[in-house]
Amino acid sequence: MGKIKFFVLQTASLIIGLLFCFAVQAADNSPTGDAGIMSMSYGKSEGKILLTVDGLITPAQAQLDLTMIQALPRSTVYTSTVVTDGVKRFDGVLMRDLLDPLGISAQAKHVEATALNDYLVDIPLADFYEYDVLLATHMDGVLLQPTDKGPLWIVYPRDKHRKLQDIRYDYRWVWQLKHLHIR
């Protein structure tokens, strides 16, 4: 009797999985009706686009506004930086919480992060899971602006991990972030 229950549960799981795949495929093939990009996880952006994510994700591209980013679980990092004085409080969302809903391919290993001034750096995807790397929207309680490292800044918890105080990690602190390409 136990084997029959297991077979039924396994078959039901397979059918549900297939139905989900068909639903995702249908959603990917449906037009958005305008230039906006639809994301199964985030929906359609309604505000100014701050961040575009593409590459090895499903759907192929996501465009996020501040409201969409701030709807994710909030996190805070207290740390010093090489470009500010003293310890600062950074509020935002963990990079892994931002990326996980986007269906990252198992083949993805790196993230190319690009700033408004076209500064580009390659970041190992593993950084976002090994450390509490933050996509900061606020510093010391103030919304980041383009004139002061904003609107988005990749922040590493450098004071919690001696390893992160190495210059190789300092290059990964991308301020004025505008684009993430998952590869």
Q: Over 70: is that where the pLDDT of 42 sits?
A: no
CA dist., res. 12 & res. 92, Å (int): 40
Q: Over 80: is that where the pLDDT of 40 sits?
A: no
What is the layout of strands, in order, in the sheet containing 49-55?
61-65, 49-55, 177-182, 110-115, 120-124
Q: Residue 136: helix, strand or coil by DSSP?
A: strand
Q: Residue 175: helix, strand or coil by DSSP?
A: strand
36-182, CATH topology level = Sulfite Oxidase; Chain A, domain 2 (3.90.420)
CA angle 38, 39, 43 (to 5 degrees): 80
Q: Residue 47's pLDDT band (boundaries 50, 70, 90)? A: very high
Say what the pTM is.
0.76
Q: Over 50: is that where the pLDDT of 103 sits?
A: yes
Query: Which amino acid does the sequence have at 4?
Result: I
The tens digit of pLDDT for each residue in 61-74 reads 999 999 999 999 99
Compute the average pLDDT of residues 105-130: 98
Q: Among 63, 43, 38, which residue's Cα sits nearest to residue 53?
A: 63
Q: Could you tell me how many residues make up the chain? A: 183
- Between 79 and 21, the higher pLDDT residue: 79
Extract the tokens encoding 148. 């002061």
**What pLDDT is attached to residue 120?**
98
Compute the average pLDDT of residues 18-38: 35
Q: Residue 98: helix, strand or coil by DSSP?
A: helix
SS (H, E, C) 23-83: HHHHHHHCCCCCCCCCCCCCCCCCCCEEEEEEECCCCCEEEEEHHHHHCCCEEEEEEECCC
Above pLDDT 90, what percent of the chain? Answer: 73
Inter-residue contact 181 to 55 (CB < 8 Å):
yes
Q: Over 50: is that where the pLDDT of 34 sits?
A: no
CA dist., res. 115 & res. 128, Å (int): 18
Buried b (16+ CB within 10 A) or exposed e, 132-166: bbbbbbbbeeeebeeeebbbbbbbbbbeeeeebee
